[in-house]
Amino acid sequence: MARLTLSPTFQYWMKGIFFNYRQTHRLFKNKYFSNADWNCVEQWFVGVQLHAKLLDWNFDNYYDGHTVSDVTILGVRFLKGYTWQSEQIEGEMIPTPGEVEA
């Protein structure tokens, strides 16, 4: 298994600005799919988003490994969370030397 840590990024999504302060990219053999090459991108983020409610809070919402906590004050939602995406790699898996930890 190899792991690559990516640079932090900003993104605009669903009327909000999100800062991915930690991202990893893992390359691995998936034993459940005939040891095929797979990758998994994990992101830890914080964000600010417009919301229809004036006051609301949700802590540790969980769905299928994705988590988010948020607080809304005067229509502005502040979020913190974790998400991931995993998929099979088409072609040959070639990690970049010097960027991948064993």
Q: Tell me: the pLDDT tens digits for 54-70?
A: 999 999 888 888 999 99
Average pLDDT, rounded, for the chain = 84
d(CA 41, CA 61): 20
pLDDT higher than threshold 90 for residue 94: no
The tokens for 4 are 């690559």
Q: Is 93 inside a domain boundary?
A: no
Domain that holds residue 14: 2-47+78-88
CA distance to 30, 51, 81, 88, 102, per residue, from 76 (Å)? 41, 6, 16, 37, 42
What pLDDT sits at residue 95? 54
Domain count, the chain: 1
CA angle 93, 27, 11 (to 5 degrees): 110
Q: Is 69 inside a domain boundary?
A: no
Q: Is 22 inside a domain boundary?
A: yes
